[in-house]
Amino acid sequence: MQRTSDSGAAYGQQPYGRIGYGYAHGHEDTGTPAGTATVEPAPWAAGAPLLPGAPERDSAHGDVIAVPPTHHDASGRPAHEPDAPEPDTPEHDRARPVFVDASGRRQRRVRRVARLLVIPAGAYVALLVSTLLGGPTISAPFVPLPLPDTTHPAAPHKAGTGSSAGTGQPAGGTASGAGDANSLPSAPRAAVGQSVPPTAATTPAATSAATAQPAGTTSATPGPTSAASPTASPTTGATATATATSSAKGRTIAASHKPVK
Amino acid sequence: MTDPTTLTEPTGRRRRGRGRTRQVTPRTHWLLLCVLVVTLSAALLLQGYTHHMFGITSDDVTGPRGRADTVPGQVARGGPVIAGAAGSPHTARPKARTIALTFDDGPDPVWTPRILDVLRRNHVHATFFVVGTQVVAHPELVRRIVAEGHQIGIHTFTHPDLARLAPWQRSLELRETQLAVAGAADVTTALLRPPYSSQNDALDDADWSVLKQADAAGYVTVLSTLDAEDWQRPGTARVLANATPHGTAGQILLMHDAGGDRSQTVAALRTLIPRLKAQGFRFSTVGAAVGMAGPVRPAGTGDHLQGIALIKMLQLGDWTIRLLGVLMYAAGAVSVLRAAIVLVAARRHRRLRRGRRARPWGPPVTERVSVIVPAYNESAGIEAAVRSLVASDHPVEIIVVDDGSTDGTADLVESLGLPGVRVIRQRNAGKPAALNTGLAAATCELVVMVDGDTVFEPDAVRTIVQPFADPRTGAVSGNAKVVNRGGLLGRWQHIEYVVGFNLDRRLFDLAECMPTVPGAVGAFRRRALLALGGVSDVTLAEDTDLTMALCRAGWRVVYEEGAVAWTEAPASLGALWRQRYRWCYGTLQAMWKHRGALVQRGSAGKLGRRGLAYLLLFQVLLPLLAPVVDVFALYGLVFLDPLRITALWLAFLLLQLLMGLYAFRLDGERPGPLWSLPLQQFVYRQLMYLVVVQSVFTAVSGSRLRWQRMERYGSLRTPTDAQTPGEDRPPRVPA
């Protein structure tokens, strides 16, 4: 988009950068070919009437020095012939273009500020992306198994879906499941997440070893409840589960008699 | 629409040179602009997604449920707490005579605290399934919920129907909510209640896939067994009846603490809790009710900090949107106001100058006029320009100032041998210098300045000097028109010129604060210029600078629509860019130079407080806001009501069209080209505001523009000038 360097010459285009170049004066008489008028003396040198009371521009505001190419004194009289090849470079030094900071200090400062603005913006985007990609990892908490199935013959049916793992796990396996549950609170979260499903699976899976089941599971169930919720009193937990069993049992049984799949 | 109120030099066909010099002009601003736009877009995207994609709608089922073939039987008939869905699903129920109160959709700044108060008074703990956006909006409520011993569960971030989302979106919903909770209360929770869920037997295959995914992410899904249906607001008694369990079985009771007026919920709770307690029920959290092991745990430090960042980011985004909304409204209001003012002013101006009761300026001005034509490499157009001046029906003295042309412009003019035409040659020194040279050579009191490529109508000189019959008139602006109107670009510029000249300029004239007499066609009182010391070269827009100085000196500057001159507009985007960059930057310079006028009295004050303020608002501030407007419009199209946004856009377009039609009518132009106005919004508009961005940045940084001119100076000294003029298009000298 930057077109500053390739623009064709135009009047008004950047005459800057050559401080002291007094181009505002038509003082180049020498090159004028014969036959045409050369630059003439300014007629107003004779004292053209000036607008009375015209305020002197820019006297009030600081850095903009709008000293015109031809200088007039306070009364508005031209100070000299405008087209005389005067060496008035010092005066032109004062007529600096508006905004231009020849030292380049301002530009450096602005660039620094711009970069400083980029930093929070970039940080924002980076943070945004990180939050979109990140997020806490949740470890599944232990959820106690429903009691009713364990004491009821319907359990085998229902467990059919439970497919997986610990098929061969006998009572001893379930006991180790209880041991797992005991270690739950201290175990790291990830480990809990891993260890819980097998424990859960133990009960349904025990279907294969149907006879061994009832004893094993009953021993297992209180284990997790007490171990898993240290805050809740184990006894109430156990009794509550027991009572829940009685109420929930009927429905579960009825349901589990139907083929599950 | 950018109006050429600062049309200073209506030609811009510049030759492109091979940029030998390094570009000094900063590019930092493009980087900055891009970064800011990307950031804003990202923020808007986030806000739009979180606030406008879904939202808490009534808890009715979002659509017909599908088949439920894959839902395991023991889940469909099991307890409301479902774990291990992905592996070996099993469910749990609350213990008998245990009620787990659950509240969805919160936290809400009004109702959640009241519910918390009720719970505290009854010494009861409940479970709150919070929505992420609400957490972000009221993190302190989440802290209070946790601090008072209640359990937190998540209810997704934006309350979508998870079953209808892609897996990545589900994951996003869960993770972001978790982050928000971690940021707000420093805990994480494994409890999830999917929005629009109800009881186990309502689960379908899609829901089951959600549950499986949630389980894989570590969540335990909590459905409900009892729905208070308080979201329907059926009345407190009805809520109470719905919420009362039959029998002694444990229940997970679904209620809502947000999503609308929940006064019935609060009222029902006040009665429900004591009543059920009296019946022997216990109240507990979901976790305790089913004997779950610690579903809510302390969050890690990293998660906590990231959560805080998420909350702050979203809150910042909220504020940004609010601020931008206000700015948009303000900009819209200002634009409409401007349209109204400009139309009224144009009408008054027309009646004042052309109406039946129009007062003439004074006795007809018949004195001879000096016409100054500064020319730099204008051989292509100078002949037509000079001939059109010679053909004037007013006595003229034509002074062609050749500013060191290398294409024989001066020779060409001399060879024409036209009467009353003088040629002055000077070393290449810039347009202000050429004008000053011409001014010095002029013998008449009235001076007309013309571009070397501008063709005057025969009566233009006579018409433009008539206002000088009024001795207070210091300068007169003519009416420049685009001659090359072919193509979209030409048409757009034509529209811009007509509208700008006919509306803005008339307004400036009436308000006596004309900021610019275009260099292409302007007339001046010579003694006024001399009093100012001639044409200054401290700005790139010397005509704007000059006009402002005249205004401040107390001269009236008027617009004479009848003085028509034809000028050539840039024919390529690049040329247009350069032209406008120069104008805009020059105007900024002139405005800064004359900023003292803001606090001056009299006519200078008029210029300062009316003219400069107008320019600042409509040529600087609004264009700077324009990129944001565009981004915001896209945001509105995507996330808000596209119909409304389109209607708004069309309304503004219509306003522009009306202004355009009126301006065209005033100018006696055929309104045909106005059909391209809608297209103007897509390239031209962006070009115009990007120019302003670049100009402002250049001005602020104070960097030195190195225009082609600099190279010309150099090339003039070395005889082997590779950049012979006219290789591309003839360079033009704007007047």
Residue B104: active-site member: yes
Question: pLDDT tens, B431-467?
Answer: 899 999 999 999 999 999 998 889 999 999 999 999 9
> DSSP label at B125?
-
CA distance A163 to chain B (A): 7
Find the largest Cα–Cα distance for chain B.
118
Q: For A200, which of B84, B297, B425 is closest by C-beta distance?
A: B84
**Minimal Cα distance from A40: which residue of B?**
B441
Q: CA-CA distance, B621 to B592, in Å (whole number)?
A: 15
Q: CA-CA distance, B401 to B430, in Å (whole number)?
A: 11
Question: pLDDT tens, B536-577?
Answer: 888 888 899 999 999 999 999 999 999 999 998 888 889 899
Q: CA-CA distance, A247 to B233, in Å (whole number)?
A: 32
For chain A, the domains span 148-256
- Residue B475's φ and ψ, nearest 5 degrees, are -155, 155
- Work out the burial of residue A7: count CB atoms within 10 Å of its CB; fewer than 13 is exposed, 13-18 middle, 19 or more buried: buried
Helices (H), B87-157: 111-121, 132-137, 139-147
- Candidates A3, A36, A73, A184, partner chain B, best to mutate (most B CBs within 10 A): A3
pLDDT of residue A146: 63
Residue B256: active-site member: yes
Contact list in B for residue A257 (CB cut-off 8 A) is none
State the catalytic residue, choosing from B125, B256, B394, B494.
Answer: B256
Which residues make beta-bridge pairs with B82? B91, B221
Neighbours of A261 (CB within 10 A): 7
pTM assigned to the model: 0.71
Question: Are B582 and A13 in contact (CB < 8 Å)?
Answer: yes
Query: Which is more confidently placed, B615 or A257?
Result: B615
pLDDT of residue B248: 87
Q: CA-CA distance, B735 to B731, in Å (whole number)?
A: 13
pLDDT exceeds cutoff 60 at A166: no
Q: CA-CA distance, B578 to B432, in Å (whole number)?
A: 19
C-alpha closest to that of A141 among B218, B151, B186: B218
Q: CA-CA distance, B198 to B171, in Å (whole number)?
A: 21
Strands B396-403, B421-426: pairing kind: parallel
Question: pLDDT tens, B380-396?
Answer: 889 999 999 999 999 99
pLDDT of residue B106: 83
Cis peptide before B107 (omega within 30 of 0): yes
Q: For A136, which of B13, B299, B694 is closest by C-beta distance?
A: B299
C-alpha closest to that of B96 among A9, A244, A85: A244
Residue with tokens 């000077």: B426
pLDDT exceeds cutoff 90 at B705: no
Question: Are A100 and B704 in contact (CB < 8 Å)?
Answer: yes
pLDDT of residue B60: 55
Question: pLDDT tens, B215-230?
Answer: 999 899 999 998 888 8
- Candidates A73, A99, A145, partner chain B, best to mutate (most B CBs within 10 A): A99
Question: Are B291 and A232 in contact (CB < 8 Å)?
Answer: yes
Domains parsed from chain B with CATH numbers: 4-21+344-717 (3.90.550.10), 96-290 (3.20.20.370)
Strands B282-284, B98-106: pairing kind: parallel
C-alpha closest to that of B387 among B366, B404, B373, B374: B373
CA distance A172 to chain B (A): 21
Torsion region of B95: left, alpha or beta (phi above 0 gives left; psi -120 to 50 gives alpha): beta
pLDDT of residue B99: 92
pLDDT exceeds cutoff 90 at A77: no
Q: For B554, which of A51, A66, A165 is closest by C-beta distance?
A: A51
- The CA-CA-CA angle for residues A141, B69, B251, to 5°, reads 45
CA distance A142 to chain B (A): 5
- Candidates A11, A235, A252, partner chain B, best to mutate (most B CBs within 10 A): A11
Lowest mean pLDDT among A144-153, B429-438, B461-470, B481-490: A144-153
Contact list in B for residue A16 (CB cut-off 8 A) is 704-705
* Average pLDDT rounded to a whole number, residues B160-184: 92
pLDDT exceeds cutoff 80 at A199: no
Q: Give me the percent of chain B exceeding a pLDDT of 90.
A: 56
> DSSP label at A78?
B
| Residues B462 and B546 sit within 8 Å (Cβ to Cβ) | no
Contact list in A for residue B531 (CB cut-off 8 A) is 50-51, 54, 72, 76
| Residues B117 and B244 sit within 8 Å (Cβ to Cβ) | no
Q: CA-CA distance, B585 to B663, in Å (whole number)?
A: 27
Q: For B593, which of A27, A98, A196 is closest by C-beta distance?
A: A98
